[in-house]
Amino acid sequence: MRALGLIGGVSWESTAIYYRLLNTMTRERLGGLHSARLILWSVDFADIAARQSAGEWDSLTASMVDAARRLEAAGAEAVVICANTMHKMADEVAAAVGVPLLHVADATAQAVRAAGSARPILLATRYTMEQAFYRDRLEANGVTAVIPDQAGRDRVHAIIYDELCQGIVWPESKTVLLDEIARLRGQGGDGVILGCTELGMILSAGDLDIPVFDTTVLHARRAVDFALG
């Protein structure tokens, strides 16, 4: 079994979900008392979020590269960034280490294509929805995402940072997200990418009658495939 290096704390709420999924999936595959071999470098998300808001992406890239190098030095055989937004610097992180970086958008695009979704709705942080790094990676894998308008992006972003990243799950916010999905379905959206690792805390496949792609689950499954492959 290969050891996985996790860059976590972005936020720790979703990192805890990653930890549970990686161990649960490993036990399901191997049985008995088996669990995943994991090395975790967890950051202070308050610092990360402040630099995101200030647009200090070069500084954030340096932090992610440092974290990946520490994980590799500790024995990690692949790097897993436990956040969608921080894949903005995935190429730089991958180039800085000698082990693979398992990209969340690649795992997501594969699932979207397998489900036959042509125009999935992308719900995520403002950075992931508005900047090109994530949508371009999806498009390189044959997936064209639909995103909310400015007001919708603001609402989704606020739910993620002001609520989910702090462990708060409000039924009213779930209704807001479902209303946004309904609006975008009217524009041809035929699936939903939960493109922030915390969104699985509030939405699931059972809430909708179109395919739902939980990136945290898909990313964890890809990581276990690698670890056990």
| Res. 161 pLDDT band, cuts 50 70 90 | very high
Structure tokens at 61: 């890239």
* Spans of all domains in the chain: 4-103+218-228, 104-215
pLDDT at 125: 98
In tens, the pLDDT along 98-132 reads 999 999 999 999 999 999 999 999 999 999 999 99
Q: Write the CB contacts of 161 (distance below 8 Å, at least 6 apart in sequence).
A: 49, 125
* Orientation angle between helical segments 215-228 and 12-30, nearest 10 degrees: 50
Mean pLDDT score of the chain? 97
**104-215: in CATH 3.40.50.800:** no
In tens, the pLDDT along 49-58 reads 999 999 999 9
Q: What is the dihedral of CA 4, 46, 89, 94, to 10 degrees?
A: -20
DSSP letter string over 133-197? HHHHHHHHTT---B---HHHHHHHHHHHHHTGGGT---HHHHHHHHHHHHHHHTTT--EEEE-ST
Average pLDDT of span 211-228: 98
Cβ neighbours, 10 Å, residue 188: 10
Average pLDDT of span 60-81: 98
4-103+218-228 and 104-215, same CATH topology:
yes
Establish how many alpha carbons lie within 13 A of residue 100's alpha carbon, considering only the half-sphere containing its beta carbon. Answer: 10
* Under 8 Å between Cβ of 205 and 212: yes
Beta pairing partners, 38: 4
Average pLDDT of span 16-28: 98
CATH class as words, domain 4-103+218-228: alpha beta
Question: Could you give the percent of the chain with pLDDT greater than 90?
Answer: 100
| Res. 208 pLDDT band, cuts 50 70 90 | very high
